[in-house]
Amino acid sequence: MNGIITKAIGGLYTVEASEGIYECKARGIFRKKQISPVCGDNVEILIEKDGSCVINEIYPRKSVLIRPPLANLDILGFVCATCEPKPNLLLLDKFIVIAEYKKITPIIVFTKIDKQSSKEYSDIYKKAGIQVYEVDNLSGDGAQAVKAALQGKLSAFTGNTGVGKSSLLNNMFPQLELATNEISKKLGRGKHTTRHVELYKLDGGGYIADTPGFSSFDTNRYDIIFKDELADCFIEFRDYTDKCKFPNCSHTKEKGCAVINAVKEGKIAQSRFDSYAEMYEQAKQLKEWEFKNE
């Protein structure tokens, strides 16, 4: 039988198959190979003679995140307030780059649009070809459009505390009562906090991942992107990178750089270029051997 892992706690996996829901353990072979099954994995399960279920095979993954542990994400949504707190565009661009690198479609949802218009920011990302949504969490306006984009997909959302991620999810899926980050907050520091991913099936197909205890997606340790791969993760650069004067152009300061010219002409947003230049500097300082074993 084939199914998808919707919950993984302490070596026990909940697998949803078309025939039903099964609690499974994983075969020892995975530990030997140092692969752990994670939520979102498409797996083959077998029912043993004693009636217990095991995960026999993990099918190839389209993508995998380590923190939170999630495989095969189609959509990663970044919830961003227009104010209080003001968006940190460098951080947002870092997340978008990670999504692009892992072949996950990024979407941005701007909240608190009743307090400040999102236009200034929306324009930057719409121009970059990224799907942008505007949601008023108080009235729920705009939430349905985001929900429609998730249909049939496996998606997850991230965003800093105070941006309205929980309100957005609850506006979209009131019946699911997603815990998001709230559980860990309520229990407080020092106590046992719930920190596991769970997938919820959506009416009309697809799943949404609830990721309580993960306040954000790890940008530093696990998702190293080397400088030569960076420009390709800025999707709006792709139209220009092969038109530069020098074939090994870093698109940071060279003469005849088509990317820089596009910034000057207003075709690429200045803030996106600034994020690229800063990330490029950071990537330059990474030594490949430091990460070889990860």
DSSP state of 27: P
**244 part of the interface to Zn ion, by CB under 5 A:** yes
Structure tokens at 153: 């997909």
Q: Which stretch binds Zn ion (CB under 5 A): 79-87, 101-109, 258-266, 269-277?
A: 258-266
**231 part of the interface to Zn ion, by CB under 5 A:** no
Q: Which of 233, 251, 263, 269 binds Zn ion (CB under 5 A)?
A: 251
Task: Work out how close the CB of 92 gets to Zn ion at its nearest, in angstroms, rounded to a whole number.
Answer: 23
Amino acid identity for residue 210 in this structure: D
CA distance 124 to 269: 6
Structure tokens at 102: 């892992």
**259 part of the interface to Zn ion, by CB under 5 A:** yes
CA distance 63 to 271: 28
Long-range contacts of 60-63, Cβ-Cβ distance < 8 Å, separation of 24 or more: 62/103, 63/102, 63/103, 63/104
Q: Which stretch binds Zn ion (CB under 5 A): 132-140, 204-212, 251-259, 282-290?
A: 251-259
Handedness of CA 230, 66, 84, 123 (dihedral sign): positive
Structure tokens at 235: 């999707």
Q: Which of 71, 150, 249, 263 binds Zn ion (CB under 5 A)?
A: 249
Task: Work out how close the CB of 275 gets to Zn ion at its nearest, in angstroms, rounded to a whole number.
Answer: 16
DSSP state of 236: G
Q: Which stretch binds Zn ion (CB under 5 A): 6-14, 40-48, 257-265, 268-276?
A: 257-265
Task: Work out how close the CB of 74 gets to Zn ion at its nearest, in angstroms, rounded to a whole number.
Answer: 31
- Nearest in space to 47 (alpha carbons), one of 74, 14, 67, 24: 24
**268 part of the interface to Zn ion, by CB under 5 A:** no
**196 part of the interface to Zn ion, by CB under 5 A:** no
Q: Which stretch binds Zn ion (CB under 5 A): 53-61, 189-197, 212-220, 250-258?
A: 250-258
Residues 6+ apart with CB under 8 A from 50: none
Task: Work out how close the CB of 268 gets to Zn ion at its nearest, in angstroms, rounded to a whole number.
Answer: 11
Task: Work out how close the CB of 252 gets to Zn ion at its nearest, in angstroms, rounded to a whole number.
Answer: 8
Task: Work out how close the CB of 97 gets to Zn ion at its nearest, in angstroms, rounded to a whole number.
Answer: 17
Owner of token pair 């046992």: 192
Q: Which stretch binds Zn ion (CB under 5 A): 15-23, 173-181, 204-212, 248-256?
A: 248-256
Residue numbers at the binding site for Zn ion (CB under 5 A) = 244, 249, 251, 257, 259
